[in-house]
Amino acid sequence: MRELRGIGVSAGTVVGPVARFVRELVEPLAGPAPADPAAEVGRLAAALAETTAELEQRAAAVSGPAAEVLEATALMAADPGLADGAAAAVTDRALPAARAVWEAFAGYREALAGAGGYLAARVADLDDVRDRVVARLLGVPLPGVPDPGHPYVLIAADLAPADTATLRPDVVLAIVTEQGGPTSHTAILANALGIPAVVACPGALSTADGTTVAVDGGAGSVIVQPGQSTVDEYRRRTAARAAARGTVTGVGRTADGAEVALLANIGDAAGMAAAMAAGAGGVGLFRTEFLFLDRNIPPRLAEQVAAYRAVFEQAAGHRVVVRTLDAGADKPLPFLGLEPEPNPALGVRGLRTAVIRPEILAEQLDAIAEAAAGGAADVWVMAPMVSTPDEAAEFVGQAHAAGLRPAGIMVEVPAVALTATACLSEVDFASIGTNDLGQYALAADRQSAALATLTSPWQPGLLQLVALTARAGAELGRPVGVCGEAAGDPGLAVVLVGLGVTSLSMTPRSLAAVSAALASVDLAAARELAARVLAARSADDARELARAALPILADLA
C-alpha cells in the first residue's frame, strides 16, 4: 500500500483497476543489442501471438463490419512473413524486438500506402497492430483512450479537450492526472460528468495497468494497492455520499430557510437538458463559445438564433444567463484575426475582442434577443473579462439597446472587485468567475499544476474579493452570483452564501451535494464561518475551518 497525493477536484470515492492513457507511442530505439537473441526472438513471437489472440477475442465480442475489421487486423498480426522479417532483424542485425517489429511493419506500411485507394486506408489499422505489439514488448500502455474491456481508473499526464471527447463516462470510474490544476479542463470535465478526480498528482503514471487503486477525489489522494479495510471504508463512504445527497428543487435553503438560487453551468442544449434533469433552478452560466470554436468564419445570425432557442425552449419560467463570446487567451478563434500575444491571458480576450471586432458582439446580442423574443425563458445576458466601470456601462448600454435586460458583467478581474461599487452601479447584476478571478488575484496560471495551491478557490485573497463584490451588490440591491468552480464545492458554497452571494451556478452533478451542505447549516453560522475563512492564513487552513464547522462534508466529499 502506497499513497500518492494530488489535488482533489471532483469529489467521490472509488476503488478500481488502473488503465493509463498516453497520446502517442514513442518510436523504439535500435539499441542496445539483445544479450540473448534467441530469447528475444521468443519474446517477439509471444508478443505477436498475444496480440493476435487479443484481436481475435475482440472480433468475437462484436458483430458486423466492426468484427470484420478486427478479424482483418488479427490476420495482420498473424502474418508469417512479418514475423519472419522481424525475427531476422533480431538475429541478423542485433535489433531489440520492439525495433525489429517497428521496421518489419514499415515495409508493409510503405507497400500499402503506395497501393492507394482501399489498401492505403488500411495503413491506420496496420499502425494499430504495430503499436499493440510494440507496447506489449516495451511494457508501456497503448496510445489512445484505454479500452481494457472493464470499468477503470484513468491515469494520464493531462487530458486535452480532444482526448476527453471520446471518454466513456460509464466505464471511467475516476480520473487521475499528473498535471493540471483545480480549474483545468480535466477538473471541469470530471465535475460535469460526476467522476471523482485528482489532478497535479506526481508519480501517478508509474502505476502499472491493472493495479488496484483507491481514489478520493475530495481529499486528493490515490492509494495504490489498498488493503481490505481501506476498500471497505471507501465503499461505506460511497454509500453515505449517495444517501446524504437529497433531491434538488432549484432553490437551496439553509437550515433556517434562507434561500439561494441553485443554477447550472451549461454549454449547449444537451447541457440544458442535463441541468433541468438534475433539478437546477435555471442556468447561471451559458458558455456560448462552442458555437464559435473551430471555425474560420463566425456562425451566421440564423445559426446562432437556432442554437440559443434550443436552450431557451427547455427553460420556460427559468433564468438563463447567457455569457457573450469569451474568446482569446486559451480559446483563440481564427476568425477574430488577433495578433499573437506574448501574454495571452493578459491580452485581448473576452469583452476586449469587441473593440477589434464590434460587429461580432452586436450580432450575438441581436441573436440572443431574437431567440428570447416570445419565449417563456427569463433570459439574462453578461459579458466576460470586464475591467472597468466604463466597460461595464458600455456593454450594459449595448445589451439594453438590443432589447436585453437584465444585463450584467462577470467579475473576473480583481480591479472590478476592488471598485465594485462603481462597477455594479452600472449593471443589473454581476456573476463572479472565481476561476479567472483567482488566476489574476494570485498571479497564477489556472492551467498550471505547479501553482495549484495558489489557484485553489479556498485562497483567502480570492475570497476577500468575493466578499467586496457581494457587499457592494447588497448595498446597491444588485444580485451577485458565483459561477466559477468554487460554487460547486459544498463547503465553499456555504462560505459563499455566508459572504452574501445570492446564486450559485455549477455543473449539474454538484447540485445535490451543495444543496445538502446548505441545508445542514443556519445562515448565521454560514456568516460566522465565512468571517473566519476570510481571516485564514492559507487555502488549506480555510478548508480545514469549513471541514470542522460542517460535519456533513465528511459524507459529501
Provide, rounded to whole angstroms, the least separation between the CB of residue 335 and Mg ion. 21
Distance CA 311, CA 318 (A): 11
Q: Which of 201, 318, 423, 483 is catalytic?
A: 483
Q: State the binding partner of 178 from Mg ion, ligand PEP, none, CB within 5 to 8 A by kind.
A: none
Smallest CA-to-CA distance from 504 within 487, 522, 479 is with 487
By the criterion CB under 5 A, which residues form the site for Mg ion? 412, 433, 436
Provide, rounded to whole angstroms, the least separation between the CB of residue 482 and ligand PEP. 8
Provide, rounded to whole angstroms, the least separation between the CB of residue 331 and ligand PEP. 8
Distance CA 459, CA 444 (A): 12
Provide, rounded to whole angstroms, the least separation between the CB of residue 357 and Mg ion. 19
- 391 vs 436 by CB, closer to Mg ion: 436
DSSP string, 319-370: EEEEEPP--BTTB--GGG-PPP-SSGGGSS-GGGHHHH-HHHHHHHHHHHHH
Sheet holding 221-224, edge to edge: 2-5, 221-224, 212-216, 13-21, 152-156, 172-177, 197-199, 7-10
Provide, rounded to whole angstroms, the least separation between the CB of residue 463 and ligand PEP. 14
**Cell matching residue 137:** 514488448
Provide, rounded to whole angstroms, the least separation between the CB of residue 483 and ligand PEP. 5
Smallest CA-to-CA distance from 66 within 147, 177, 131, 185 is with 147
- 239 vs 293 by CB, closer to ligand PEP: 293
Distance CA 527, CA 548 (A): 15
Contacts of 269-273 with CB under 8 Å at 24 or more apart are 269/307, 269/310, 269/311, 269/314, 271/508, 272/310, 272/311, 272/314, 272/315, 272/320, 273/314
Distances in whole angstroms, Cα of residue 556 to Cα of each of 222, 501, 504, 553? 18, 22, 17, 5
The terminus-to-terminus CA distance of the chain in angstroms comes to 22
- 349 vs 527 by CB, closer to ligand PEP: 349
- The 3 state secondary structure assigned to 76-139 is HHCCHHHHHHHHHHHHHHCCCHHHHHHHHHHHHHHHHHHHCHHHHCCHHHHHHHHHHHHHHHHC
Provide, rounded to whole angstroms, the least separation between the CB of residue 399 and Mg ion. 18
Distance CA 549, CA 529 (A): 7
The answer to whether residues 478 and 416 touch, using CB atoms and an 8 Å cutoff, is no
Provide, rounded to whole angstroms, the least separation between the CB of residue 263 and Mg ion. 16
- 34 vs 433 by CB, closer to ligand PEP: 433
- 131 vs 412 by CB, closer to ligand PEP: 412
Distance CA 432, CA 94 (A): 63
Provide, rounded to whole angstroms, the least separation between the CB of residue 460 and ligand PEP. 18
Distance CA 184, CA 198 (A): 11
- 309 vs 349 by CB, closer to Mg ion: 349
Q: State the binding partner of 287 from Mg ion, ligand PEP, none, CB within 5 to 8 A by kind.
A: ligand PEP
By the criterion CB under 6 A, which residues form the site for ligand PEP? 285, 287, 326, 412, 433-436, 483-484
Distance CA 199, CA 203 (A): 11
State the residue for C-alpha cell 473566519: 532
Q: Does the annotation count 150 as an active-site position?
A: no
- 331 vs 547 by CB, closer to ligand PEP: 331
> How far does CA 227 lie from the centroid of its chain?
30
- 216 vs 326 by CB, closer to ligand PEP: 326
Distance CA 371, CA 366 (A): 9
**Cell matching residue 6:** 494530488
Q: Does the annotation count 423 as an active-site position?
A: no
Q: How many CB atoms lie within 10 A of CB 343?
A: 7
Q: Which of 150, 185, 201, 400 is catalytic?
A: 185
Q: Which residues are catalytic?
A: 185, 483
